[in-house]
Amino acid sequence: MSRTITFNELRRIKDSLPEGGIRQIARKLELSEDAVRNYFGKGETEGVHYEKGPNGGIVVIEDTTILDLAKKMIE
């Protein structure tokens, strides 16, 4: 199921990750660290779509697996 959040919220989640959080997510999901970093930025990531607007714009995320893991890490 897709989820829509603001780009600023996505960046806040990334910035709240503990040190090594990107690496932990990448290892758990067998992805490259760059793929996880791109998920949280404006890099090329399949299934993440950006639209300009307030608060950095809107981000529509088709696969929320990385987002869900990140949120669990910062809770």
Q: Identify the pLDDT of residue 43.
A: 61
Report CA Rg, the chain. Answer: 12
At 12 the pLDDT is: 95
- The Cα–Cα gap between 54 and 48 comes to 18
Q: 73: which 2 tokens? A: 């890490």
Distance from C-alpha of 20 to C-alpha of 42, rounded to nearest angstrom: 20
Tracing tokens 């791109």 back to the chain, one arrives at 38
Q: What are the distances in angstroms from CA 37 to CA 15, 24, 27?
A: 11, 12, 13
pLDDT given for residue 46 in this prediction: 66
pLDDT in tens, 18-65: 999 999 999 999 999 999 998 887 666 666 777 888 878 899 999 999
State residue 44's pLDDT score.
63
